[in-house]
C-alpha cells in the first residue's frame, strides 16, 4: 500500500521512495489518491537549467557535496538525456556521479524520457510534489534549457538558476527573452576560460534593462564546477533566494502554472490563467491546501 511506503519514505527509506515515484510515474491504481493526500510540501525546489555541456551535472554534484557536508538531505531529479546521471555519458563523469547513489542522505532519480509534447517529463510536477513531502532539505532538478523547457522548469522550481558558459554568446542572444523571464540567478560556469570576464560583462549589459517581472537585479555568479570554485557562494546565494520576499510573491504564480498544466492535461478547453490565479490565491490561504484536490474541484466547476 502507498500509505506504508509513504511513511517509510518519510523516514529516509530510498527504496520505498523509488517505489512510490514509480507508482505515480506509471499511474498505478491509487496514485491520484496519494497525490490528493499530500500536505503542502515544505522542501524548496531549485531548477538548474542551461545548454547541454554547460556543467549543470558537475555543479549539481558540487552542491550535493556542500549540502551533505552540512548534514542536509538532498534529492535530485534529472531530466537531461545527455547527463552523466544517464547511461551513455563519459565513463569518468558517470563514476563521479554514481558515488552519490549509495549515500544515505542523497536520492537521485533520472527521468529518461521527455514529454511527448517535447517538454519535460510528463509526470514531473507530480514527482516533484511527492519529493517535497518526504523530508529532504533541498531538491534539485536538472534540465536542458532548450526553448519551452526553461519556462516549464520555472513553473516547477521555486528558484531557477540558469547555467551559461563563456562561449555561449549566440545562444544567449537567441534564448534571451525566455532566459530573462525564468532566471532568478545566472551562473557563468567554466570561469576558468579566458573569455569569462568579457562574457560576464556582456551578460550584465544585456540584463540591465530587464523587462522581467522581477524588481531586483538578477545575480550573476562565476564558478569553475570541476574545481568546486564558487560553489559555496552559489549554495548560499540559492539559500538567500529561497528566503526572499519575492519568492513568496512568486508562489501563487508558480501554483497557477502547475495547476494550468495539470488542468490542461485533463481537458482541452481554455482556462483563464487570471481566474485560476485569483482562485489559487484564495485557496492557498487554507492550511491544508493541496494542488491536486484544487485541480479536481476546479475541473468540476
Ligand X SMILES: Nc1nc2c(ncn2[C@@H]2O[C@H](COP(=O)(O)OP(=O)(O)O)[C@@H](O)[C@H]2O)c(=O)[nH]1
Q: Which residues bind ligand X (CB under 6 A)?
A: 52-58, 82-84, 93, 189-190, 192, 224-226
The C-alpha cell at 95 is 563514476
Q: Which residues, numbered 182-201, are part of the site for Mg ion (CB under 5 A)?
A: none
The C-alpha cell at 40 is 503542502
- Which is closer to ligand X, CB of 9 or CB of 225? 225
- Which is closer to Mg ion, CB of 168 or CB of 259? 168
Q: Cα separation of 255 and 245, whole Å?
A: 16
Residue 25 binding Mg ion, by CB under 5 A: no
Nearest to 97 by CA among 107, 85, 106, 87: 85
Cβ–Cβ under 8 Å, residues 199 and 189: no
The C-alpha cell at 263 is 488542468
Handedness of CA 249, 136, 13, 101 (dihedral sign): positive
Cβ–Cβ under 8 Å, residues 94 and 58: no
Cβ–Cβ under 8 Å, residues 58 and 225: yes
43 binds, among Mg ion, ligand X, none (CB under 5 to 8 A by kind): none
Measured from the CB of residue 111, what is the shortest distance to ligand X in angstroms?
14
Which residues have a Cβ under 8 Å from the Cβ of 270 and sit 6 or more positions away? none
Measured from the CB of residue 234, what is the shortest distance to ligand X in angstroms?
12
The span of 16-24, 77-85, 96-104, 209-217 binding Mg ion (CB under 5 A) equals 77-85
Beta strands 138-144 and 45-50: pairing type? Answer: parallel
- Which is closer to ligand X, CB of 12 or CB of 53? 53
Measured from the CB of residue 73, what is the shortest distance to ligand X in angstroms?
22
Per-residue binding letters, 81-100, with Mg ion (x by CB under 5 A): --x-----------------
Residue 80 binding Mg ion, by CB under 5 A: yes
- Which is closer to ligand X, CB of 20 or CB of 45? 45
Measured from the CB of residue 51, what is the shortest distance to ligand X in angstroms?
7
Measured from the CB of residue 195, what is the shortest distance to ligand X in angstroms?
12
Measured from the CB of residue 181, what is the shortest distance to ligand X in angstroms?
20
55 binds, among Mg ion, ligand X, none (CB under 5 to 8 A by kind): ligand X
Q: Which residue is nearest to Mg ion (CB)?
A: 83
The C-alpha cell at 55 is 556543467
Nearest to 291 by CA among 271, 250, 262, 268: 262
Q: Cα separation of 81 and 168, whole Å?
A: 20
- Which is closer to ligand X, CB of 192 or CB of 246? 192
Residue 149 binding Mg ion, by CB under 5 A: no
54 binds, among ligand X, Mg ion, none (CB under 5 to 8 A by kind): ligand X
Measured from the CB of residue 146, what is the shortest distance to Mg ion in angstroms?
13
Q: Cα separation of 94 and 109, whole Å?
A: 14
The burial class, CB within 10 Å (0-12 / 13-18 / 19+), for 273 is middle
Residues that bind Mg ion (CB under 5 A): 56-57, 80, 83
Amino acid at each position: 500500500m502507498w500509505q506504508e511506503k509513504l511513511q517509510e519514505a518519510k523516514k529516509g527509506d530510498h527504496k520505498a521512495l523509488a517505489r512510490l515515484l514509480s507508482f505515480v510515474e506509471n499511474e498505478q491504481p491509487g496514485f491520484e489518491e496519494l497525490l490528493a493526500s499530500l500536505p503542502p510540501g515544505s522542501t524548496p525546489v531549485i531548477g538548474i537549467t542551461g545548454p547541454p555541456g554547460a556543467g549543470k551535472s558537475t555543479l549539481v554534484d558540487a552542491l550535493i557535496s556542500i549540502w551533505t557536508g552540512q548534514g542536509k538531505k538532498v534529492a535530485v531529479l534529472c531530466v537531461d538525456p545527455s547527463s552523466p546521471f544517464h547511461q551513455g555519458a563519459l565513463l569518468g563523469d558517470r563514476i563521479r556521479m554514481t558515488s552519490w547513489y549509495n549515500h544515505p542522505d542523497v536520492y537521485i532519480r533520472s527521468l529518461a524520457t521527455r514529454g511527448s509534447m517535447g517538454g519535460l517529463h510528463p509526470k514531473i510536477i507530480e514527482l516533484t510534489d511527492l519529493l517535497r513531502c518526504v523530508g529532504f532539505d533541498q531538491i534539485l532538478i536538472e534540465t536542458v534549457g532548450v526553448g519551452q523547457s526553461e519556462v516549464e522548469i520555472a513553473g516547477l522550481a521555486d528558484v531557477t538558476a540558469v547555467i551559461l558558459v563563456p562561449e555561449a554568446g549566440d545562444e544567449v542572444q537567441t534564448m534571451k527573452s525566455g532566459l530573462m523571464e525564468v532566471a532568478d540567478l545566472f551562473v557563468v560556469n567554466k570561469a576558468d576560460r579566458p573569455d569569462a570576464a568579457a562574457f560576464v560583462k556582456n551578460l550584465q549589459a544585456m540584463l540591465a534593462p530587464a523587462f522581467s517581472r522581477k524588481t531586483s537585479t538578477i545575480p550573476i555568479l562565476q564558478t569553475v564546477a570541476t574545481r568546486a570554485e564558487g560553489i559555496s557562494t552559489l549554495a548560499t546565494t540559492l539559500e538567500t533566494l529561497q528566503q526572499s520576499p519575492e519568492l513568496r510573491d512568486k508562489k501563487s504564480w508558480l501554483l497557477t502554472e502547475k495547476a494550468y498544466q495539470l488542468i490542461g492535461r485533463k481537458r482541452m478547453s481554455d482556462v483563464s490563467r487570471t481566474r485560476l490565479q485569483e482562485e489559487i490565491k484564495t485557496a492557498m490561504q487554507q492550511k491544508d491546501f493541496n494542488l491536486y484536490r484544487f485541480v479536481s474541484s476546479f475541473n468540476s466547476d
